[in-house]
Structures are given as C-alpha cells and as structure tokens.
Amino acid sequence: MAKTSPLECVEVETAPISRFERLLDEDIRSELDQTMAGLADLMRGHVIWNVNSTARGGGVAELLASLIPYSRGAGIDERWAVIEGTPEFFHVTKKLHVLLHGVAADGETLTEDDRREYEAATAKNAAALLDEVRPDDVVILHDPQTAGLIPRLRDRGIRVVWRSHIGVDTPGEVVRRAWAFLLPYVGGADALVFSRRTYAWDGLERSRVEIIPPCIDPFAAKNRDMSELEVSKVLEQASLPNRGPMVLQVSRWDRLKDPAGVMEAFARHVAPRAGALLVLAGPAVMSVTDDPEQPQVLEEVMSQCGRMPDAVREAIVVAQLPMDDVERNALTVNALQRRADVVVQKSIAEGFGLTVAEAMWKGKPVVASRVGGIEDQVEHGKSGVLVDDPHDLRTFGESVVSLLGDPEKSADLGHEARRTVARKFITPCHLIAQGRLILDLLRT
C-alpha cells in the first residue's frame, strides 16, 4: 500500500503455522487448525487490519510483528498500519499512558486543548485508514493512541476491536480521569480486549469485553534457540559484556519500568555482596517516536550512574540497542537474556510485561514486581520471585543475591518458568483466542 497520507503500512512476512506442532498438545493443535481455517474461510476477500502508533520499540509492535505472519501463513489477509501525529499529539497520548497506570505528575491533568489535539490527529488518521478499509474488513486498534479512530470507522459500518495493553488492578481517581477522556471513543467499539479481567474499565458493556493475554513467538529472532557460541558472537558484535554473574533488565526508558530503581537496588544491595554486573538495556532513544520522554529518562539514568562510586559504576552497563536493524536488535536482546544469570523487571506499573515471558521461555530465574500482568506469568517461589512492593530496594537486591548464590534453585525456577510459558503465553494461545473473537463478530 503506497503511503498517501498520515498512515504508514508495515511490511510483514508470512510464516508457517505448522512450525508449532511439536510444541503443542494434540487438543490445542486441533483447535488452532480449526480456528484459523474457519477464520480464513469467512475473511476470504477481506482484510484484518491492526493499527497502532509505532512500528518498532515496545511490546505492542513486537506482538504484531510476531502474530501477523502466522495469520498470513494460515491464508488470512492480515495487515498492519501505523498512525502518525505531531509531537503535541504524542505528548497527550504519553500523558494518557501514564495516567492509565495510575501515575500523575504534580498538577498534570487532561485539558480541552489536549482533546482538540488528540481529535485533530485521529481525524487525519481515520480519513487515511478509511481510504483503505472496506465495509467487511475488521479493524483491531491498539491502545489509547488509536481510540479516537473508533467513531469514524463505526460510522462506516466497519467492525472494530479496541485493545488495551495497559491497566491497573485497583483504579483510583487518576486512572478514572484517563478513562473519562477515552470513554466517548472506546464505548462504540464492537469488542474491547484487555490483558487481564481486572483491567476492564467501569462504564463498558461487559458483554463486549474479552480477555486475551499477550504472547511471545518462540521462533522469532528474540526467542529462538541460540548456541553459547552464537550468544558470544552477538554480544561481541554489539560491544556488550559477556563476563561474570550478570543481572539484566530489558525495557523502554520509561519511569514506570524504574531503571533508576534497578540501579539503586543493585548499587546498595547486590554489588557489595555478589560481584555481579548489571546491564540495563533499552532501545536507542531517538528510534521510538511515540514516547517523547525516553531521552529524558535515559539522561537521568546516565547521570545517576555517573554519580556512583567508581567500583559500582564500573559494574553497570547502560546499553542503547539500535533499532534500525530489527532482527539484529532482537538477536541482541535474545543473547543478553540467555547470557544473564538473573533477569529483573522492577516495574512500578505494568500492563503485562512480555520481557518477563521472554526470559522465562529461556529458562531464566526472574525477580519482578508483583504488579499487573507480571503476576499472571510468575508464580512466586515456583517459576520466579515476586516482590510485593516495587519500591522495596532491599528485598529486590536480596532476592537477586540469593539466586546468584544458589544455581540449583535458579535452574529449578527457570525450568518451571519455561513450562509455564509453553502452556499459556506462546503464539498459538493468542491466535486461538483472537480468532474466536473475530469469528463471533463476523457471525453476528
């Protein structure tokens, strides 16, 4: 599709769905085949569109890049479009993102100027999308950036699914302000998908709410098997360390991921006792266009690192991973996760946290905050370690030190972690759930 407007179409490859056969029980394999065949039949001559705000960086872009090829491989014409917007628009959507996690800077509110900016950008993108979408197509819109497209698409009789990848278990007034901003748009969708039941908003028609957790693709560059030799080569090419006990967090440069807290916990409670290395890895900050705060957060992290005592500073690596080569970036994350001895995700708030599933798939012990979808993935003491208070630096640090000093326990946690992901959080689970949802919409 040629780009003639604010809409960008992402080129997506095709992948054979048959490659999952050896990973699935017979009943799941049969259900996958039946669901995808039925969907391909009903969608023949029509398109499933996925629309979000960035083609790279962040869990949604990675999810789409891993899911869509298998739908296409099953004979379904599924495509991916990316909206565009001004810096002011992305400032508004970043504010929404943070508020939906229950966090607000002092005095930060959503204003009528914010609404005007939001609606102006979504109107342009809706017009561009309507140049391509046909009445019997299905459109899946992802996250707050796209919610404003819903009314215009529904006015044309197009079936619309809106999917929120973020949320909180106990919404307060801050969260409800963001809901109030978005409800006039979201309320008109045919179906509303959340990652957890507790994330579904008040004021929505419950019969239209579906729960579908995200997933990882075991065969994607970020998750496929790698030999120790390949891990070493990839890390060497990326100028990343490959030595000693390694503690790793991979995330966007986002205050909700708390890289500063990870560094402080490491400096106070890990470095003095374990002689380990900390690697904080995230995307090159100028490569993710829908999050204007990343450069500032990275600068804060670098400044904090620079103030550390020499011995601690030398044990910390802050790595910006280039995004211009998506496969190379994914292989680098894969190599880091496989090289790490302990993977942490010390999020203050989290929608789901796919980096946790990625590490678990690689058989790594995970120490993570008991927030959001992380709790759905990690069973404390069985497939990882959950810390009840994400601000509790001592418990985080002591949990990491304990695992570094107990390889047998780490291996047991990692083994169970991989089994959990295979049962619940790989691509076929998601394809079945989403396929059923679309089939239900098409048959009504």
Distance (Å, whole) CA 353 – CA 165: 10
What percent of the chain clears pLDDT 90, i.e. is strictly above it?
83
CATH number of 8-215+426-443: 3.40.50.2000
Lowest mean pLDDT among 38-42, 294-298, 405-409: 294-298
> What is the DSSP code string of 267-327?
IIIIHHHH--EEEEEEE-GGG-TT-TTHHHHHHHHHHHHHTS-HHHHTTEEEEEEP-SSHH
With bands split at pLDDT 50, 70 and 90, how would you rate the model's confidence at 3? Answer: very low
Query: What value does the mean pLDDT of the chain take?
Result: 93
What confidence tier does 375 reach under pLDDT thresholds 50, 70, 90? very high
| Segment 35-65, tens digit of pLDDT | 999 999 999 999 999 999 999 877 899 889 9
Residue 287 has pLDDT above 80, yes or no: no
Read off the tokens for 382: 């069985």
Report pTM.
Answer: 0.82
104 phi/psi in degrees, rounded to 5: -140, 135
Task: pLDDT band for 401, please (50, 70, 90 cuts).
Answer: very high
Q: Give me the mean pLDDT over the 389-415 stretch.
A: 98
One fold for 8-215+426-443 and 228-424: yes
Q: Mean of the pLDDT values across residues 309-333?
A: 94
Check residue 293 and give its pLDDT: 82
382 has a pLDDT exceeding 50: yes
pLDDT score, position 2? 41
Interior CA angle at 207 toward 35 and 351, to 5°? 75
CATH 3.40.50.2000 fits 228-424, yes or no: yes
User: What region, left, alpha or beta, does residue 244 occupy, with left being phi > 0 and alpha being psi -120 to 50 degrees?
Assistant: left
Domain spans of the chain, in order of start: 8-215+426-443, 228-424
Q: Are 341 and 246 in contact (CB under 8 A)?
A: yes
Q: What's the average model confidence in pLDDT over 196-224?
A: 94
Token readout for 437 is: 């949802």
| pLDDT at residue 105, as a whole number | 64
pLDDT at 4: 46
Label residue 312 by pLDDT band (50, 70, 90).
Answer: very high
* 431 contacts 35 by C-beta, under 8 angstroms: yes
Question: Distance between CA atoms of 269 and 394, rounded to whole angstroms?
Answer: 6
Q: Write the pLDDT tens digit of every residue in 136-169.
A: 999 999 999 999 999 999 999 999 999 999 888 8
| pLDDT at residue 5 is higher than 90 | no
H/E run at residue 8 = strand 8-9
**How high is the pLDDT of residue 177?**
92
C-alpha of 404 from chain center: 27
d(C-alpha 108, C-alpha 67), whole Å:
36
